[in-house]
């Protein structure tokens, strides 16, 4: 996801991270299953980029 992050402002990235946190994707999910977190982050990021 790092290549996508470079195209998103820091404010927008924080908003995306906040949405993931609200959806329950927090540090505990990252520790338990990083693949699940990466997939969720990628899907939210794609959704966000598709709306701009």
pLDDT in tens, 4-51: 445 778 888 788 778 877 877 666 665 666 666 677 777 777 777 776
- Alpha-helix residue ranges (DSSP H) falling in 1-52: 2-5, 10-22, 27-32, 34-50
- 46 with 5: CB under 8 angstroms? no
pLDDT value, residue 28: 66
| Intra-chain end-to-end CA distance of the chain, in Å | 18
pLDDT at 2 over 70: no
Contacts of 25 (CB under 8 A, 6+ apart): 36, 37, 40, 41
pLDDT value, residue 44: 77
């Amino acid at each position: 996801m790092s290549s996508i992050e470079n195209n998103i402002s820091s404010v927008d990235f924080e908003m995306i991270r906040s949405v993931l946190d609200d959806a329950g994707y927090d540090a505990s999910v990252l520790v338990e299953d990083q693949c699940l977190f990466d997939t969720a982050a990628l899907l939210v990021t794609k959704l966000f980029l598709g709306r701009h």
